[in-house]
Amino acid sequence: MSRLELYSPEGLRVDGRRWNELRRFECQINTHPNAADGSSYVQQGNSKVLCLVKGPMEHGANLAAGTKLDPNGPVLSLNINYPPFASNERKKRPKNDRRLQEISIILKRCFMKTIVLKNYSRTAIDINLTVLAMDGGLLACFCNAITLALIDAGISLYDYVSAVSVGLYDQTPLLDMNALEENDLSFVTIGVVGDSDKLNLTLCEDKLPLDKLERLISLGIEGCHRLKELMDLQVRVAGGQLQERQ
Amino acid sequence: MASVKRQRPTDGLAVTQKVFVRSRNGGALKIVREHYLRDDIPCSSVCCDDCEEYYRPSPDGQPSEPILSGEPLEITKNGIGRHYLILDTNVVLNAIDLLESDKVFYDVVIPQTVLEEVRNRSYPIYMRLRALCKNDDKRFVVFHNEFKTDSFVSREKGESAQDYNDRLIRKCALFYSQHLAKHKLSVVLLTSDKNNIEKAVNEGIRTMSLHSYVSLLPNYSELEDMLPSNETFSRQLTEISYQEYYSPARLMGGIKSGTLFQGTINISSYNFLEGSISVPSMPKPLLVLGRENLNRSFNGDTVVVELLPKNKWKKPSTEIVDEETINSNGVGDEDEDEVVISDQERRLLAEHAVAAQGEDQKVIPTARVVGIVKRSWRLYVGQLAPNSASKDQVGGNAAKSCFVILMDRSLPKVRIRTRRARELLGKRIVVAVDSWSPTSKYPDGHFVRVLGDVEDKDAEQEALLLEHDVEYRPFSKNVLDCLPKEGHDWKVPEKLDNGDPQLAQRRDLREKLVCSIDPPGCVDIDDALHAQRLPNGNYEVGVHIADVTHFVKPGTALDQEGASRATSVYLVDKRIDMLPMLLGTDLCSLKPYVDRFAFTVLWEMDEDANIVRVDYFKSIIRSKEAFAYEQAQLRMDDPAQQDELTQGMRILLQLSKKLKQKRLDAGALNLASPEVKVHMDSETSDPGEVEVKKLVEANSLVEEFMLLANISVAKKIYDEFPQVAMLRRHAAPPATNFEALNDMLRVRKGMHISLESSKALADSLDRCEDPQDPYFNTLLRIMATRCMMAAEYFSAGNYGYEDFRHYGLATEIYTHFTSPIRRYCDVVVHRQLAAAIGYEPLHPLHRDKAKMDLVVKNINKRHRNAQFAGRASIEYYVGQVMKNTQSVHEGYVIKVFSNGIVVLVPKFGVESLIKLESLGDIRTSHFDEDLYKLTFTDKNGSERQVSVFDRVQVSVTSQLDEMTGKRKAQLLLA
Ligand SMILES: [Zn+2]
């Protein structure tokens, strides 16, 4: 039994949002111009993630020696840093945390469908993710941060992929869950391509009733479209600044 | 909470951070949470137009509307005028009964801060508060003050959580009074915290204590008694001093290190100063003896106990102790020297205790209560002690404290304060318990309401429903809204191919010759049957169960109500339904001559009643006839009846006899309970006569097929849902349960009940015959039944398969499927079966193990309560019958104590204690414990001895107990 009302009959969630409201979303790109080819910082509520992209390169730094480059497209490698201070309990994560491994496979699959592959044959792209603080929506933050960093690195994408988590409280779908809500409720994370209804990413780690899934996803898509607008705005601001400087 | 910069993501929404430190396992943990502040939270007042645009519909499109009336209560005194109330946490916690009263408290605002505090302090009260907010008449609203920009304040540095919450509540009150000022509405903050009142008054908020507010109301005198006691009690005198409870840390530590034990205390209904507590590490329960050792615990509390030194270990009492037989310095008030024992010694003591129990000595380790983890306090029914006021006392309308004697004999008296003692005398009243301080011999409580005169039929009925925690209020509007709109005109659709995919899955069985067989006058027909011979010589047998889940969809208000009631309760002249009448007695009920939806189990059986094939599906049936048991029996016995329906019934009868034989061969038990039925005079509805229940073959016909259906369904749902399938088990009785009975049998009759298996038990019970006394065998079965474990519901994941066994029915797996109208278990099973056959997906409620555990726990509890309530109702009516007649009947001695005997009278199904005083001369009595024999000189001066199993003639009357107002069977040896 949760100590708190996760969704009150008056229609408010634990943090005061309504069911269809996103958390505060902030992002920046080109945060580390000297350290990487592309970089970004994404903050959804109290979840903060940093992403550095290197590439396209002829040799991937993260690649194991002897890995063959692919003539049909880039080899993506993904590394997730989840330092102990980022979560509430300061516990060290094992090097090959299974959950993080699974997440990185899903992200790779998602971005292999988003990057224009033919432009990057026989190259490597390294993605480094660092969690600074986590308050729910891990996968969604990762996905948004990667999209922005890839754009900053100038890697051609078909479109933005914006992601958000959607949970189910009894019969009510809740958009953009925080950690408290994630602990108690089943949820699904989806990533949407641009302004379309196409999903490049879905992950559901709990049981969800099938008949509710459609409502959850349609709410999620709306949320993703709003996030995409916010991300696009930031990219254009950064682009404008770049132009001024030159 | 630290003040953190506010950011505004969008207009009308700002975000800040809630920062707090939580300690866990000794370490401190800093937690930061987002906290969104918004403008669009309405004040919920009908007359406010500023908030109009803030009412947002819910996700499924339900509009939200202002709730607080534009014309709230007006109090002219003190210039309060028309006003809304804002409640503080302590008021909600202490006076929830008063808040629920329909005489007072309308238009009330509950700040979110208060709601959360209440939730953390007492979940049941939180649930009641939430129910109040749902109740349209009471106009209670929750105002989310912490999310509204205008009523939020940040926590200051060094401010305690308590102070901060108080400040939030005051800010909320201030916001309301300013917000509504232009509508000439005022706001009154009610709190019982003196400090808070002072601060609020300084800030210009109209604040009062609950007591002074209620005193301004026109119906004050009526409400005064219902005020919680801690505000009005002022006691200087110390009557007793109980040991203070240990600190929570010490309790936790003690339990971990094995020096303290936690468990639920069970106070004997024969002796209110003797409690027992079962703890996992001991084979037998520990005894807790005496007022001081019980240390303010109530029957059913979860308590922590500490073992007493070895020289205080005792035998369980062979005496009966009623409260009134004890004067203040009697048993249990012995002075206790404080003995200091180290932890090490305590552990040693625990080992000794285990050893002592193992050696089968009659000495039992004793313990004392040192802490209470969870109180079992609820509303109690009782009556004023007869000496609290005399009817003819003149004047003196001052409030005085008096004692309420509770109906439950295992509970202590409760002290309440009232001005109406004289008026309340001789009435059944409801009281709530507020507190029990170490210096008070009895707990303090307050008056809640009057049920009616003692022995008045309606008052007694309501009392026993309350006592057994049975929800008997009419179904709420929310629940009734879930019923089909067509009401009684609802019909099975004419066209079965109307495009509804679920309807298409139903099989049309309207041509089958289905009939139902039930007790006479049954209106909620759960089950119907049919049978016919197949061309291959086998039989087709169908059991059709009312398709309740077609109407009761999971997660709806109707479903929640059903889940919380869990069972219908049958009293002698009243039935409290689990589901609304419309469903139970009409739409679901498998009435004859109309089409009804059903859930069918269809078998193909051979001549010897072996199952060849079984099939489960939803169906449509049309019952041809509804029989009463006797009626069905007559029809089957009448050779002139050769129609197909009767033929089918005869097939059923034959097969059922074979099924029964198989069950008995497998070791199914045939136990007995002294069940009686009360005949009501149809004109005066006075109880007429008591009769022991009779059974005919037709009873057993229905029973056998229901058992078979339950077993078949249990297997099916277990296959499909090995973790959450809802099943029923009946554990084998531990040998210790039979020790006493077997010892009595050996000493008195030279007989023995074997316990190796249910088969052995059944056979040995059959052998225990006394040729001189044909009733002896039944008596023994009654006594054996009391040694059995209770059957219980469980979800499959909680036990290994071998523990699924139903001992009494001698089957490996069992569930309840056949009475969904009156049992919630069956509703769940129906849904699981429907999912197992692919009819519809299973709702998450019944797929989640944790949620199923809660459901199961509740139905087990409700089921038990319903049984107790039913028995209590019979007991009351039997008492009424006996009131009018005094007669001599046969009785059997079933227990012998040193100061009395317990006699069972089969004719009335009552048992009662006969005290030694009324048997004869106390001084000459001699109690032989080993032979269960009591010798005494009776009233005529002749020597007499009574021992267990003796048949005695007793004169039976009933007598009103002055103290409890209960009518008890009064037996005297004739
Ligand atoms: Zn307003």
A167 touching chain B per CB within 8 A: no
Q: How would residue B655 be classed by pLDDT, with cut points 50, 70 and 90?
A: very high
CA of B48 to the centre of ligand 1 (A): 5
In angstroms, the CA B929 to CA B907 distance is 29
The closest of B645, B536, B510 to B590, measured between CA atoms, is B510
Q: How would residue B562 be classed by pLDDT, with cut points 50, 70 and 90?
A: very high
- Give the C-alpha distances (Å, rounded to integers) separating B431 from B291, B380, B406, B416, B423: 22, 5, 9, 8, 15
Residue B331's pLDDT is 33
* CA of B86 vs chain A CAs: smallest distance (Å): 17
CA torsion B320-B789-B872-B573 (nearest 10°) is -170
A170 touching chain B per CB within 8 A: yes
Kindly give the interhelix angle for B112-121 and B89-100, rounded to the nearest 10 degrees.
80
Sorted by sequence, the CB contacts under 8 Å of residue B171 that are 6+ apart come out as B145, B151, B152, B153
Q: Do B470 and B576 touch, CB atoms closer than 8 A?
A: yes
Dihedrals φ, ψ of B276, to 5°? -135, 155
A246 touching chain B per CB within 8 A: no
CA of B93 to the centre of ligand 1 (A): 28
B333 has pLDDT over 70: no
Q: Which CATH class is domain B885-973?
A: mainly beta
Q: Is B854 helix (H, G, I), strand (E, B) or coil?
A: helix
In angstroms, the CA B838 to CA B617 distance is 10
B519 has pLDDT over 80: yes
Average pLDDT over residues B271-281: 80
Q: What count of other Cβ atoms lies within 10 Å of the Cβ of residue B352? A: 14
CA of B141 to the centre of ligand 1 (A): 13
B236 has pLDDT over 60: no
Interchain pair B142, A20: CB under 8 A: no
Largest alpha-carbon pair distance within chain B?
98
- Interface with B, mutate which of A1, A2, A4, A5 (most B CBs under 10 A): A5
Listed by number, the residues of chain B in 133-172 with a beta carbon closer than 8 Å to a beta carbon of chain A are 133-134, 142, 144, 146-147
DSSP per-residue letters across B57-104: PPTT-------B-SS--EE-GGG-EEEEEEE-HHHHHHHHHHHH-TTS
pTM over 0.80: no
A47 has pLDDT over 90: yes
In angstroms, the CA B198 to CA B211 distance is 16
| Cα angle B862, B867, B872; round to 5 | 120
CA of B92 to the centre of ligand 1 (A): 24
CA of B179 to the centre of ligand 1 (A): 6
- Tokens linked to B546: 């009312």
- Tokens linked to B773: 């006394």
Task: Spell out the domain ranges in chain B.
Answer: 69-224, 248-374, 379-454, 477-724+810-866, 885-973
Average pLDDT over residues B886-893: 83
Q: Do B944 and B933 touch, CB atoms closer than 8 A?
A: no
B304 has pLDDT over 60: yes
B32 touching chain A per CB within 8 A: yes
Interchain pair B38, A16: CB under 8 A: yes
Q: How would residue A105 be classed by pLDDT, with cut points 50, 70 and 90?
A: very high
Q: Do B806 and B814 touch, CB atoms closer than 8 A?
A: yes
How does DSSP classify residue A118? G
Q: Do domains B248-374 and B379-454 have the same CATH topology?
A: yes
A109 touching chain B per CB within 8 A: no
What percent of chain A is predicted at pLDDT more than 90? 67
B394 has pLDDT over 70: no
- The alpha carbon of B559 is separated from its chain's Cα centroid by a whole number of angstroms, namely 18
- Measured between CA atoms, the residue of chain B closest to residue A4 is B116
Segment among A205-209, B97-101, B383-387, B964-968 with least mean pLDDT: B964-968
B55 has pLDDT over 60: yes
Q: How would residue A66 be classed by pLDDT, with cut points 50, 70 and 90?
A: low
R_g of chain B computed on alpha carbons = 32
Amino acid (one-letter) located at B441: K
B347 has pLDDT over 90: no
Q: How would residue B171 be classed by pLDDT, with cut points 50, 70 and 90?
A: very high
Segment among A108-112, B817-821, B908-912 with least mean pLDDT: B908-912
A48 touching chain B per CB within 8 A: no
Listed by number, the residues of chain A in 68-107 with a beta carbon closer than 8 Å to a beta carbon of chain B are 88-89
Which chain A residues are Cβ-neighbours of B43 within 8 angstroms? none
Q: How would residue B679 be classed by pLDDT, with cut points 50, 70 and 90?
A: low
Average pLDDT over residues B946-954: 85
| Architecture category of domain B248-374 in CATH | Beta Barrel (2.40)
- Measured between CA atoms, the residue of chain A closest to residue B27 is A89
For B243-253, the pLDDT digits (tens) are: 888 888 888 88
Q: Please identify which residue in the block is written with the tokens 């929570």.
A: B248
B328 has pLDDT over 80: no
What percent of chain B is predicted at pLDDT more than 90? 26
Interchain pair B37, A16: CB under 8 A: yes
Range among A131-145, B353-367, B446-460, B479-493 with highest mean pLDDT value: A131-145
Average pLDDT over residues B261-272: 81
CA of B45 to the centre of ligand 1 (A): 6
B889-892: list long-range contacts, CB under 8 Å, 24+ apart. Answer: B889/B953, B889/B954, B889/B955, B889/B956, B890/B775, B890/B951, B890/B952, B890/B953, B890/B954, B891/B951, B891/B952, B891/B953, B891/B954, B891/B971, B892/B775, B892/B779, B892/B949, B892/B950, B892/B951, B892/B952
Average pLDDT over residues A149-178: 93
B238 has pLDDT over 60: no
Closest by Cβ to B59, choosing from A10, A172, A210: A172
Residue B327's pLDDT is 38
- Measured between CA atoms, the residue of chain A closest to residue B42 is A10
The closest of B268, B362, B363 to B320, measured between CA atoms, is B268
- Interface with A, mutate which of B7, B13, B16, B34 (most A CBs under 10 A): B34
Residue B330's pLDDT is 33
* CA of B856 vs chain A CAs: smallest distance (Å): 16
Sorted by sequence, the CB contacts under 8 Å of residue B928 that are 6+ apart come out as B934, B935
Interchain pair B142, A19: CB under 8 A: no
Segment among B85-89, B385-389, B465-469, B942-946 with least mean pLDDT: B385-389
A104 has pLDDT over 70: yes
Which chain B residues are Cβ-neighbours of A1 within 8 angstroms? 123
A15 touching chain B per CB within 8 A: yes
**What is the ipTM for the molecules in this complex?**
0.92
B501 has pLDDT over 50: yes
For B195-215, the pLDDT digits (tens) are: 899 999 999 899 998 888 988
Domain B69-224, CATH = 3.40.50.1010
| Cα angle B659, B665, B670; round to 5 | 85
Q: Do B290 and B273 touch, CB atoms closer than 8 A?
A: yes
Residue B388's pLDDT is 65
Average pLDDT over residues B255-277: 82
For B912-938, the pLDDT digits (tens) are: 778 777 777 777 778 887 888 888 887
Which chain B residues are Cβ-neighbours of A46 within 8 angstroms? 17, 32-34
- Give the C-alpha distances (Å, rounded to integers) separating A48 from A223, B10, B850: 18, 20, 33
The closest of B704, B714, B711 to B661, measured between CA atoms, is B704
Residue B493's pLDDT is 87
Residue B395's pLDDT is 47
B27 touching chain A per CB within 8 A: no
- Measured between CA atoms, the residue of chain B closest to residue A85 is B30
B63 touching chain A per CB within 8 A: no
A19 touching chain B per CB within 8 A: yes
Which chain A residues are Cβ-neighbours of B130 within 8 angstroms? 9
Query: What average pLDDT does chain B have?
Result: 83
Residue B964's pLDDT is 65
- Measured between CA atoms, the residue of chain A closest to residue B28 is A89
How does DSSP classify residue A3? S
Which chain A residues are Cβ-neighbours of B123 within 8 angstroms? 1
- Interface with B, mutate which of A3, A8, A10 (most B CBs under 10 A): A10
B604 has pLDDT over 60: yes
DSSP per-residue letters across A215-236: HHHHHHHHHHHHHHHHHHHHHH
Residue B5's pLDDT is 47
Q: How would residue B883 be classed by pLDDT, with cut points 50, 70 and 90?
A: confident
Element (H, E) at B619: strand B611-622
Q: Given CA atoms A68, A69, A75, A81 in this order, what sign does their dihedral have? A: positive
Q: How would residue B255 be classed by pLDDT, with cut points 50, 70 and 90?
A: confident
Residue B690's pLDDT is 61
Task: Tell me the β-bridge partners of B402.
Answer: B416
Q: Which CATH class is domain B379-454?
A: mainly beta
B496 has pLDDT over 50: yes
Residue B232's pLDDT is 42
In angstroms, the CA B355 to CA B352 distance is 5
Interchain pair B35, A46: CB under 8 A: no
For B743-771, the pLDDT digits (tens) are: 888 888 888 888 888 888 888 888 888 88
CA of B54 to the centre of ligand 1 (A): 9
Average pLDDT over residues B336-344: 47
B29 touching chain A per CB within 8 A: yes
Q: Do B635 and B522 touch, CB atoms closer than 8 A?
A: no
For B775-831, the pLDDT digits (tens) are: 888 888 888 888 888 889 999 988 999 889 998 888 999 999 999 999 999 999 999
Interchain pair B60, A16: CB under 8 A: no
B299 has pLDDT over 90: no
The closest of B155, B142, B77, B83 to B113, measured between CA atoms, is B142
What percent of chain B is predicted at pLDDT more than 70? 87
Dihedrals φ, ψ of B925, to 5°? -75, 150
Interchain pair B34, A19: CB under 8 A: no
- Edge-to-edge strands, sheet with A38-44: A25-29, A38-44, A47-57, A124-133, A75-81
Q: Do B892 and B940 touch, CB atoms closer than 8 A?
A: no
Task: Spell out the domain ranges in chain A.
Answer: 25-63+70-245
Q: Count A/B contacts: CB-CB distance under 8 Å.
A: 79
For B3-54, the pLDDT digits (tens) are: 344 555 566 677 788 777 766 655 677 788 899 999 989 999 998 888 888 8
How does DSSP classify residue B340? -
Which chain B residues are Cβ-neighbours of A20 within 8 angstroms? 59
In angstroms, the CA A195 to CA A228 distance is 8
For B684-719, the pLDDT digits (tens) are: 555 556 666 666 777 888 889 999 999 999 999 999
B752 vs A25, more confident: A25
Average pLDDT over residues B329-345: 42
Beta strands in B643-743 (DSSP E): 676-680, 687-692, 726-729
Domain A25-63+70-245, CATH = 3.30.230.70
Largest alpha-carbon pair distance within chain A?
60
Query: What average pLDDT does chain A have?
Result: 89
> What totals of helices (H) and strands (E) does chain B contain, helices first?
26, 40
Q: Do B700 and B656 touch, CB atoms closer than 8 A?
A: yes
* CA of B378 vs chain A CAs: smallest distance (Å): 21
